[in-house]
Each structure stands twice: as C-alpha cells, then as structure tokens.
Amino acid sequence: MTTRVPRPLHPAAWWGWATALAIAASRTTNPLLLGLIVSVTAYVAVARRPATPWSRSYLIFLRIGLAAVAIRVVLFALLGTGPGTHVLFTLPRVPLPDWLAGVRLGGPVSLDGTLAATYDGLRLAVILVCVGAANTLTSPRRLLKSLPSALQEAGVAVTVALAFAPQAVASVSRLRAARRLRGRADKGLRSMRGLAVPVLEGALDRSVDLAAAMDSRGFGRRGSTPAHVRRATAALVVGGMLAMLASSYALIDTQAPSGLGLPLLLAGGLSTAAGLVVGARRGGRTRYRPDPWRSPEWLVVGCGVAAAVVIGLGRSTDLFPATSPPTAPSLPLLPALGLLLALLPAWIAPPLPRPRGVPSGDATGAAVVPRQTVGAAP
Amino acid sequence: MIRFAHVTVTYPGALAPVLRSVDLDIPEGELCLVVGRTGSGKSTLLRCINGLVPHFTGGRLAGSVTVDGRDTRHHPPRELADVVGFVGQDPLAGFVTDTVEDELAYGMESLGVAPEVMRRRVEETLDLLGLTDVRDRPLLALSAGEQQRVAIGSVLTVHPRGLVLDEPTSALDPAAAEEVLAALTRIVHDTGLTVVLAEHRLERVVQYADRVVFVPGHGRAVEMGAPADLLAHTPVAPPVVELGRLAGWSPLPLSVRDARRAADGLRQRLANVAPPRRTVPRRDALAELRRVVASYGDVLALRGVDLTVHRGEVVAVMGRNGAGKSTLLAVLAGLRTPTAGIVSVAGAPTAGRPARDVVRRVGLVPHEPTDLLWAQTVDDECAEADRDAGVSPGTTRGLLTDLTPDIDGDLHPRDLSEGQRLSLALAVILAAAPALVALDEPTRGLDYPAKRRLVTILRDLAARGHAVVLATHDVELAAELADRIVVLAEGEIVADGPTADIAVASPVFAPQVAKVLAPLPWLTVSQVAAALAG
C-alpha cells in the first residue's frame, strides 16, 4: 500500500456519512442496534477527530441526547396514557378541570409505555449523536467553505450569523459587569430588561463594522458578470430549492396528491443544479485550497449509505421490538453487520495532518491547541 | 496616488462639516502619518480614501477623492478593494473567517484571484509578516500583535497600491506595537506601497513617517509637510519633539537616536540638578491583596499576587497583553471572585457585596468604556450618572468638560470619537468619587492634550486622598502620572517599585525622555521644563 498523504477529509463526506447513520437510526427503535450506532460513531469520532476546539462537541451532543431520553421518559410518566400489561408504580393523580378532559396528570405508570418512550427517546438521542459526530470530525464552517461558488456569499452570511450567539453571550456578561460598576443591581429581571437594548446596539455596531470590513475587502463585488446572468442564477437556485422543499412535504404527507412529489423533486433538483453550474461559470470568486473529493470521500459516504440500506433489510420485528407485552430485544445479524460497515471510515479516511507545535507521536487523539506565548517577539 | 480635491464632508444631521475643502496629494511609495486632536476628523479622512465615506457612513462628500485614478464617487469600497486596503483599530472586528490562512486568502477569493496565485501570495505574506508559525491557528487564539499583523496581511495579499491604517498599534503593548511597525516598515521598503496611517501614540511611529498630515479639526485647513517642520507647531507632538522644542533644537529630532545626539548640552546642564520628585506622604493602606489567585477555567490569570495600595498613591500596572492586568483590576472592583486569597478595599471585601456599596470604594473604567454608557444622549448619560452617584446635578458634566471640552450634549454616546467616549465613561465613574479609582488602559484613543488633562484630574484625586490604579501600556503616561510601577508577567508581580527606578532600569518601560537623557534619571518633559525654568 502506498503511503497516504495526511489531509483532512472533505467535510461533506463526513456529513454524508453521519447523515446516513442518522437515517439508519431513524429506521429502528431496537436499543441494541441504536447502541451499536453510538459505538460506531464514537469510535470513528475518537479515531479521526482533528485537534480543534470544536472537536469536543461529541460529548456535548451525547449529553443533550441523554437529556432528551430523560425528558421523554419523565413526560411519559407524568402524562402517560393509561395502564399497560405491567404497572411499575402509581403516581398520585392530579385532578384537572373539566375542559382538560383529555389530559391525565399522574396515575399508573406501565412498563410497556415507559419502554416505548425510552426507545423513542433513544432514537432521537442517537440521531443527535450522529450530528455531534459530524461536528467533531469537521467544523460546520469548513462545510460552508466548500459550498458551490453560487452559494458562497450566502455561506459567508451564515458564517457571520453563526458568530452572533457567542458574541452576544460575551457582551451580556460584559454589560452586566458594567452595570455593577455603575452601582446598579446586576441580577433580576429589571436589570435584564435594561441589558437588551445595549446588547442589540453592540451587536448592530459590530455588524456594521464587519460589513464595512467585508465591503472594503471586495465582498459582493460585481466583477464582470452581466446582471441578467446573476439574476438567472439566483432565480434557478432559489426556485429549485423551493420546489424541493414543497416536494418533501408532498412525499411525507400521505394526504397530498400522490403523483406530485417525485416530479417536483426532480424538477427542483435539476433547476438548482443548473443554477449552481451557471453560477460556477461566472468566475467572480475563486477558492483558496479547496478540499479535494477523491476516492476516500466516496468510500466514507458509501459506508454510511450501505449501513443505512442494509439496516432496512432487517425484519420489522427485529427493528421495532415489541413493547406491549415487553420482550427482550434481539440483535439481528444482517443489520448489525451493515452498521459495522460504517466503522470502516476510521481506517479509510486519510491520516490527519499533525498540528504544528505538537511533538510527534499520537496526533489523532490530541485535542491540544498549543498554548501561545503572548506578544513574544522572535 | 491618492488625491483629495476640495473635499468637504458633512455627516447627516451635523451642523458643520467634519472636513472642509481638503486638498491633498499623497505621492506613491510614501508613509504618510495623519495626526490631529481626538475627534478632529482623522478617521473620516482615512475612510474617504477607500470610499467608506460616504458610501458606508452616509453624509455628503463635496469635491472628489481619487485613488490610482479611480474616483470614489463612482466606486464603492468593494470596487476599490484591489487598489487600497483598509485596516481598522480593532482587528477582531474585521475578521471574516476563523483561521489565519483563510483570513489571508479571503480578499483574494472575493477578487477572483487564480488559486495558484493565491497559494503563492499567502505563503509570501506569511513570511513577510512573520506569521508562518501560526498559519493554521484560529484567529481568536492569537496574541493582539499577531492579530493586527494578520489584519494587515489580509489586505496585502490582494497587492493593493495603497494601505490605510487607522490606529493600528493603540491597543497593543510596546513589544507587540514594535512587531507591527517593524513589519509595516519592511513592507514599505520592499514593495513601494503607499501607506496612510493615523496614530495617537506618535512616539511610536513618527520616526518612520516621510510626511505628516495635520488635521486641526473644526473645519480648519488641513496641513501637509515634512514631519520635523510640521510638528514644530502642532498641539500634538511626541515627548521627544516636545523636548526638542523646549531645548530649541533645530532641526527637531524625531527619534530617540537623533535626540540623543543633540542632547549633549542639555545632559551637561542637567547633570548636577536632581529631578523634581513628588513626595508622597506615607498614608495608610487602602487596598490590600494577599496571595490572590484568579483563574479562567484551568488557565491561571493571577498566581498569588500580593499588593498594597495606599491612599494618595498612583500605581501603574504594566505588562504584556494577557499578563493579568485586567484580571487584577476586576478582582479589585469585585467583578471577579478570586479563587484563593484575600482582597480588601477600605477595610472590606469587594466580591459579592451590593454594587451600591462597592462603587463608593472602587470605581473601575473597563477596557471597553462604551459598556458603561447606555443613555441616548451625552446629557442624559451625565444626568443619570449624577443620580446613580447621588451627587448634585451637573457634577458629571463638569468632570467631562474638564477632561474633554466642548462635547455636544445632544450627541449619542456611540457617535462620539473613541477618546471622547472614554472621557465620558471616566466622568461617569469619577462622579461617585470612589476611594480607589481603577482604569483599564485609559489612554487608548486619547491625544496628548487630553492625556495631560487626565493626568491633572487623576493627580488631583490622589492629592485629595484617593488611590489610583491604572493598567496601561503607555510608558509616557506611567512616567508622567504614576508614583509606583507594578510589572506583571504570567500572572505574577515581577517588579514593584517607584516609577523612577522601574522606568529607568528597563528599556521596555523607559519613556522617551529617559532614553534621551540616560543615564540621568529624568522621566518627563515637564520635569525638565521645571528644572530649566527654576
């Protein structure tokens, strides 16, 4: 085997792989299969995460997922619907007024229902974990960078918007400190109300500064593209995307006219593609060191898609274990083997470039951003 | 290269123009320094060059500005991006991407530069600005000096013919400012770039300038000339020039080196005179820090700091960006609870106490003075500060007028210039007459006359028994104002002593006068002036 040049995998490949696994997760409630998906994403994330600040987001998403399971189960216990075959315990019933006749608060909590709620929550949690894995393996900003050139300006707008939340949090804490410095209360509702206007003003000021900086650096330059080409590009892309959005409703909603979904999806896809191709040709912008899309990218996405397809081949009794009466879930062989395919990217993906300043050794597991020496002149 | 013809700029709603019939012709390849008082229109002048005025700011521009033959009336900033690069004071405010290489490439991507060319220019720029070691770092993880160099690099990669910088070093510590200016002069020498630069800290830049543009403000005529000629009569001048004026040297020296060569006679005259020293009557301790540790997550900002501040004393806290100066002030003002150790001001701790009680003991002007201001007009702000502090109406406005005269009371605080805003924030804090006044980097954006008034006000406070602690990079201010200098490094106090000892002992913290008159222990022009007069 030839030595492989270390490089980061194309962000879209990781997102494709993670999306496919999320789809696989959405096709089952079997806790064993769901657990397998979590193990697969965890292994790949640990093996291939770059040493960047966002590479810790896997754990954050895992925690959010567990919280989702807990909330789902607690809500079920409080609002659950009637007794099942096995009653675990009985909560005191809260009497509700007549106009809430359909809602029950408290009462018996059954094992069947709790199990169903847990499975359901688990499925959501695993989908979240898949998103977390993608976030860990590549930053959303990298993905935005590899948008087709017709969408690049929209991508920059999203990047700028993404920076808003952390900046707003920072300015809230600064302004609360400032209130304290002027001898006013820095806690309570009244003080929060007083903060809203300055925080927004600050955000607005920053946006204007940034807009001025971007304008000064040539953002939104007309270049040599004629106006009608630009308008056509925009119309094709926006129209196509709207069509695809409408078609997804038509495909999911069983009551929509059936023959409409697929043609609309195709037409929308074609229109968007045409817009992107025309946009790519206008040549107003170029891209610095774009991530290449080569065979490892195809293989990584392929592994994910294969897992999502193979899981669908399982019997529905295996994929959706019965909860009423409760039965122990079994691990179906074929879907499990399919999911193991999704583990391969841990070896298929090219090795990560070693971060500068970190001594040789294990570069993959090192979430180390080297400590900088401030203002040190060479 | 850059030509202003009868340019008059009036902002919307303003009664008088900021700039009135400005005629300028800045030739190719020059480093042109724009000087003037706070709020005199320097920034407006700079922003005219790449069309931000009036395309972005609104207002009316009469006359014409042409850059490399392009008239800014017909070319908005984005269409001028390939001929002139603009770098503002706060590099973080202008960053579009999140890593060094991407930021350097961003402008070229917008202009559609071919990928091979981009790759080559990024490498060249990394070398030119000494950024190779940090090329793949996140921008937020860089030091302030590195960030400013990235900001300069990010506009240089498109190979503009002109570069406009608005106060590029005012937020930097002396060493980081040296880095940026050294990079800048190298670029001017290597590429023949035309640079237009505004800076309040003239002592840092004036020796590099080929030409000075003086913006007097109030719509009076803008002057341009050789640095030594023009600085002979401008109200803003670095200490070395003031010393030259005082001693009557001709031509005026612009650098410490020139001044040292001219200063032989002066050194002899002063050799047997002891510099006048302020004698601080030893009073009781006001603030005490004992083994104070403060941390952000797992990063220690202060590692066991012991410090006592006495009433009537002015203490300057110095050190690199990130050495822990701001944290020290935050701990004093009770904004941060120390992880370990004891902080007490006027006999009681500050953290966790009610704000109303703390502000009478410690008043802190934060690094971002705008945070303190939230009213809609300057007058409202002053009235609110009077109420907050429980003092008679007009107190804050009076303090403000002492600091910076003639600020229009109907203006929105955000429409003031950087220096005017700082004055307002300072006035708001001083209204409560706190026992200890702390200031975080108070001279950012202040011109020399405003600094002198700040010194007078703070010395006056100290004389009345208040204590003043200021974190600053400004060695000239520290020399003029402080009784004592405390140097922080990596969260520890590495030096603590009388100003004269610390400032003369270290080349980094020595003011210009000390460098010129070394080995004599003189620190400021006013000391020398007093000695020569008496």
**Ranges of each domain in chain B:** 2-237, 285-361+434-533
Confidence label for A71 from pLDDT (cuts 50, 70 and 90): very high
Rounded average pLDDT over A341-366? 68
SS3 of A290-342: CCCCCHHHHHHHHHHHHHHHHHCCCCHHHHCCCECCECCCCCCHHHHHHHHHC
The separation between the first and the last C-alpha atoms of chain A, rounded to the nearest angstrom, is 42
Q: Containing H/E element for A246?
A: helix A227-252
**Is the distance from CB of A363 to CB of A310 less than 8 angstroms?**
no
Distances (CA, A) of A61 to A18, A58, A64, A130, A333: 13, 5, 5, 9, 28
Instruction: Give the residue numbers spanning the domain of A9.
Output: 1-146+290-354
Residue written as token pair 């951003």: A369
Residues A84 and A138 in one domain: yes
Taking an 8 Å cut-off on Cβ atoms, the answer to whether A209 and B154 are in contact is no
Residues A182 and A211 in one domain: yes
User: Would the pLDDT of A103 be above 80?
Assistant: no
Confidence label for A123 from pLDDT (cuts 50, 70 and 90): very high
Chain A positions touching B154 (Cβ under 8 A) are: 217
Phi and psi of A117, rounded to 5°? Answer: -65, -40
Respond yes or no on whether the N-terminal peptide bond of residue A370 is cis (omega within 30° of 0). Answer: no
Taking an 8 Å cut-off on Cβ atoms, the answer to whether A373 and B143 are in contact is yes
A87-91, A366-370, B80-84: lowest mean pLDDT where? A366-370
Nearest-CA distance from B321 to chain A in Å? 7
Chain A positions touching B334 (Cβ under 8 A) are: 180
- Tell me the average pLDDT of chain A: 80
Q: Give the per-residue pLDDT at A373.
A: 37
Rounded average pLDDT over A140-153? 76
Q: Give the per-residue pLDDT at A345.
A: 93
Residues A18 and A114 in one domain: yes
Confidence label for A67 from pLDDT (cuts 50, 70 and 90): very high
Chain B positions touching A182 (Cβ under 8 A) are: 355, 359, 372, 385, 388, 428-429
Tell me how far apart the alpha carbons of residues A199 and A211 are, in angstroms, rounded to a whole number.
Answer: 18
> Which of B77, B90, B134 is closest, CB to CB, to A216?
B77
**Is the distance from CB of A148 to CB of A119 less than 8 angstroms?**
no
Chain A positions touching B385 (Cβ under 8 A) are: 182
Domain count, chain A: 3
Nearest-CA distance from A195 to chain B in Å? 9
Closest CA to A17 of A291, A295, A303: A303
Q: Give the per-residue pLDDT at B7.
A: 93
Q: Between β-strands B211-215 and B31-36, what pairing exists: parallel, antiparallel or unpaired? A: parallel
Nearest residue of chain B to residue A197 (CA atoms): B374
User: Would the pLDDT of B430 be above 70?
Assistant: yes
A375 within domain boundaries: no
Phi and psi of B29, rounded to 5°? Answer: 80, 10
Residue range B445-483, pLDDT digits in tens: 778 887 888 888 889 889 888 899 999 988 999 999 999
Residue range B302-317, pLDDT digits in tens: 999 999 999 999 999 9
Residue range B387-406, pLDDT digits in tens: 888 888 999 999 888 877 88
Phi and psi of A113, rounded to 5°? Answer: -65, -45
Confidence label for A363 from pLDDT (cuts 50, 70 and 90): very low
Cα Rg, chain B, nearest whole Å: 24
A373 within domain boundaries: no
Chain A positions touching B111 (Cβ under 8 A) are: 218, 221
**Is the distance from CB of B125 to CB of B160 less than 8 angstroms?**
no
Taking an 8 Å cut-off on Cβ atoms, the answer to whether A180 and B358 are in contact is yes
Rounded average pLDDT over B177-194? 87
- Tell me the average pLDDT of chain B: 89
CA angle A162, A168, A172 (to 5 degrees): 165
Distances (CA, A) of B418 to A105, A150, A178, B167, B404: 59, 39, 18, 11, 12
- Say how many C-beta atoms besides its own lie within 10 A of residue B22's C-beta: 25
Closest CA to A345 of A25, A22, A42: A42
Residues 126-145 of A with CB under 8 A from B: 141, 145
User: Would the pLDDT of A85 be above 80?
Assistant: no
A211: left (phi over 0), alpha (psi -120 to 50) or beta: alpha
Rounded average pLDDT over B179-192? 87
Work out the burial of residue B484: count CB atoms within 10 Å of its CB; fewer than 13 is exposed, 13-18 middle, 19 or more buried: buried
> Which of B110, B119, B133 is closest, CB to CB, to A285?
B110
User: Would the pLDDT of A253 be above 70?
Assistant: no
Residues A266 and A315 in one domain: no
Name the CATH architecture for the domain at B2-237. 3-Layer(aba) Sandwich (3.40)
Residue range B493-517, pLDDT digits in tens: 999 999 988 888 888 888 999 999 9
Tell me how far apart the alpha carbons of residues B173 and A252 are, in angstroms, rounded to a whole number.
Answer: 61
Closest CA to B488 of B318, B287, B336, B316: B318
Fold: same for B2-237 and B285-361+434-533: yes
User: Would the pLDDT of B485 be above 70?
Assistant: yes
A30 within domain boundaries: yes
Query: Which tokens is B393 given?
Result: 């109406």
CB contact set of B103 (below 8 Å; sequence gap of 6+): B95, B96, B97, B139, B150, B153, B154
**Fold of domain B285-361+434-533:** Rossmann fold (3.40.50)
Instruction: Dump the DSSP string for A355-372.
Output: PTTSPSS--SS---PPPP
Residues A269 and A307 in one domain: no
Taking an 8 Å cut-off on Cβ atoms, the answer to whether B370 and A212 are in contact is no
β strands within B311-462, DSSP E: 314-318, 340-345, 362-365, 436-440
Asked if B110 has any chain A CB less than 8 Å from its own CB, the reply is yes
Q: Give the per-residue pLDDT at A125.
A: 95
Residue range B316-349, pLDDT digits in tens: 999 888 889 999 999 999 988 999 999 999 988 8
Distances (CA, A) of B419 to A81, A234, B38, B60, B88: 66, 45, 6, 24, 16
ipTM of the complex: 0.84
**Is the distance from CB of B246 to CB of B232 less than 8 angstroms?**
no
Residues 63-122 of A with CB under 8 A from B: none
Query: Which tokens is B179 given?
Result: 């880095």
Rounded average pLDDT over B122-131? 91
Tell me how far apart the alpha carbons of residues B462 and B481 are, in angstroms, rounded to a whole number.
Answer: 10
Taking an 8 Å cut-off on Cβ atoms, the answer to whether A53 and B371 are in contact is no
Taking an 8 Å cut-off on Cβ atoms, the answer to whether B96 and A219 are in contact is yes
pLDDT above 70 as % of chain B:
99
User: Would the pLDDT of A108 be above 90?
Assistant: no
Asked if A197 has any chain B CB less than 8 Å from its own CB, the reply is yes
User: Would the pLDDT of A142 be above 90?
Assistant: no
Q: Give the per-residue pLDDT at A138.
A: 86
Q: Give the per-residue pLDDT at A361.
A: 39
Residues forming beta bridges with residue B165, ordered by sequence position: B87, B197
User: Would the pLDDT of A364 be above 50?
Assistant: no
Residues A282 and A301 in one domain: no
A10 within domain boundaries: yes
Chain A positions touching B88 (Cβ under 8 A) are: 209, 213
Rounded average pLDDT over A82-101? 76
A370 within domain boundaries: no
Residues forming beta bridges with residue B3, ordered by sequence position: B25, B66
Tell me how far apart the alpha carbons of residues B399 and B393 are, in angstroms, rounded to a whole number.
Answer: 12
Residues A25 and A138 in one domain: yes
Rounded average pLDDT over A208-228? 80
Chain A positions touching B144 (Cβ under 8 A) are: 374-375
User: Would the pLDDT of A172 be above 80?
Assistant: yes
The domain boundary residue, chosen from A288, A317, A343: A288
Residue range B209-258, pLDDT digits in tens: 999 999 988 878 899 999 999 998 888 889 999 999 999 998 899 999 99
Chain B positions touching A207 (Cβ under 8 A) are: none
Nearest residue of chain B to residue A153 (CA atoms): B110
Residue written as token pair 């841990």: A346
Q: Give the per-residue pLDDT at A365.
A: 38
A238-252, A332-346, B23-37, B292-306: lowest mean pLDDT where? A238-252
Q: Give the per-residue pLDDT at A196.
A: 80
Asked if B390 has any chain A CB less than 8 Å from its own CB, the reply is no
Residues A133 and A189 in one domain: no
Residues A152 and A210 in one domain: yes
CB contact set of B447 (below 8 Å; sequence gap of 6+): B36, B37, B38, B200, B235, B236, B419
Asked if B519 has any chain A CB less than 8 Å from its own CB, the reply is no
User: Would the pLDDT of A283 be above 60?
Assistant: no
Q: Give the per-residue pLDDT at B246.
A: 92
Nearest residue of chain A to residue B432 (CA atoms): A182
Taking an 8 Å cut-off on Cβ atoms, the answer to whether B143 and A372 are in contact is yes
Q: Give the per-residue pLDDT at A225.
A: 67
User: Would the pLDDT of A168 be above 70?
Assistant: yes
Residues A138 and A276 in one domain: no
Residues A91 and A196 in one domain: no
Q: Give the per-residue pLDDT at B414.
A: 80
User: Would the pLDDT of A228 be above 60?
Assistant: yes
Chain pair A-B, CB pairs under 8 angstroms: 191
The separation between the first and the last C-alpha atoms of chain B, rounded to the nearest angstrom, is 50
Residues A78 and A115 in one domain: yes
A327 within domain boundaries: yes
- Using CA of residue B285, residue B286, residue B290, residue B292, what is the dihedral sign? negative
Asked if A280 has any chain B CB less than 8 Å from its own CB, the reply is no
Nearest residue of chain B to residue A353 (CA atoms): B136
Query: Which tokens is B427 given?
Result: 């006035």
